[in-house]
């Protein structure tokens, strides 16, 4: 059956029958639109619930990582303070060690010169 034959049949019904069919079709379409909107609302609610749960997981993971990093930073700061105070305390000793090392090398040089002088005589 082609469209032309369908239009001829519909024209034979009259305006009230065509209007009734159009009303039924429009009501059916409105019902489908409402059904689709209800389905879309449910999908949106489900998506919001899923997004909220994922955000909570992400927030919890972020807090755990921040806490872990905070502990690491406090440990590093504590170790840095310990090392810095250690170096500060040994800073004077380094100068003393360098001075004594220089004196020892000077003493070694003078002993070597004395030894060479004695051998040369």
Q: Is the pLDDT of residue 32 over 80?
A: yes
Q: What percent of the chain has pLDDT over 90?
A: 30
In the predicted model, what is the mean pLDDT of the chain? Answer: 83
Q: What confidence tier does 92 reach under pLDDT thresholds 50, 70, 90?
A: low
Distance of alpha carbon 111 from alpha carbon 119, whole angstroms? 12
Measured in whole angstroms, the distance separating CA 61 from the mean position of its chain's CA atoms is 10
Distance of alpha carbon 53 from alpha carbon 59, whole angstroms? 10
Write down the pLDDT at residue 71.
83
Q: What confidence tier does 73 reach under pLDDT thresholds 50, 70, 90?
A: confident
Q: Are 18 and 10 in contact (CB under 8 A)?
A: yes
């Amino acid at each position: 059956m082609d469209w032309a034959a369908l239009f001829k049949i519909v024209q034979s019904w009259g305006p009230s029958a065509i209007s009734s069919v159009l009303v039924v079709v429009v009501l059916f379409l409105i019902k489908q639109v409402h059904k689709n909107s209800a389905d879309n609302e449910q999908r949106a609610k489900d998506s919001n619930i899923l997004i909220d749960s994922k955000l909570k997981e992400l927030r919890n993971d972020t807090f755990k990582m921040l806490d872990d990093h905070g502990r690491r930073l406090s440990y590093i700061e504590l170790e840095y303070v310990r090392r810095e105070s250690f170096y500060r305390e040994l800073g004077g000793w380094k100068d003393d060690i360098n001075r004594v090392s220089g004196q020892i090398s000077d003493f070694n040089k003078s002993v070597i010169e004395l030894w060479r002088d004695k051998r040369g005589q």
